[in-house]
């Protein structure tokens, strides 16, 4: 399975709103496997298809310490949310940048699994944060969008400076 290229902020393709998945088939499962290999190698705890320039509503996460509990969310939707939590976030598309974002503390999510079967889960703590972060990617948002314009500008300059050094 090949590692996929992860788009980096401020790449305009990260602004693309993902389209629903129509068919869950072997091609989609192969993409899921490639995304998982890419996420684990990065290393990260979540990856949205948008981040690998595939603009469909697909997210994978693994917040386990053992890195062996991959969860797949096809056409996910948050159907309930409550509370609030502030957590420091990072992103594979914004490497080396971390900042605090406030999100719902508890969410209930409805989605399809890797075989197309519908399911619902309740997520709290790290899983809740990770899912909301990845679902934002499906809407064309990156976590830095929650930060002030000044912080966004500094982050963009830092990333562009790093890219020039490569």
Catalytic residues: 134
As a three-state string, the secondary structure of 73-91 is: EEEEEEEEEECCEEEEEEE
Question: Under a CB-based contact definition with an 8 Å cutoff, are residues 57 and 21 in contact?
Answer: yes
Coil, strand or helix: which one is 130? helix
Please give the helix or strand (H or E) that residue 135 lies within, else none: helix 125-138
Strand residues in 12-152 grouped as ranges (E): 46-48, 58-61, 71-82, 85-91, 94-103, 106-112, 118-124
**Position of tokens 């503390």?**
105
Report the C-alpha gap between 111 and 69 in whole angstroms: 17
């Amino acid at each position: 399975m090949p590692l996929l290229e992860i788009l980096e902020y401020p790449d305009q393709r990260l602004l693309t709103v993902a389209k629903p998945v129509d068919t869950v088939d072997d091609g989609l499962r192969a993409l899921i496997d490639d995304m998982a290999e890419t996420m684990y190698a990065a290393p990260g705890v979540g990856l949205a298809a948008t981040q690998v320039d595939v603009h469909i509503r697909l997210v994978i996460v693994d917040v386990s310490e053992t890195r062996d509990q991959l969860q797949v969310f096809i056409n996910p939707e948050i159907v309930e949310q409550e509370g609030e939590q502030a957590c420091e976030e990072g992103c594979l598309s914004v490497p080396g940048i971390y900042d605090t974002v406030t999100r719902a503390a508890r969410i209930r999510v409805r989605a399809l699994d890797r075989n197309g079967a519908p399911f619902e889960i309740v997520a709290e703590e790290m899983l809740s944060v990770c899912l909301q972060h990845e679902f934002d990617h499906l809407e064309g948002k990156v976590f830095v969008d929650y930060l002030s314009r000044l912080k966004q500008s500094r982050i963009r300059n830092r990333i562009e400076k790093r890219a020039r050094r490569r």
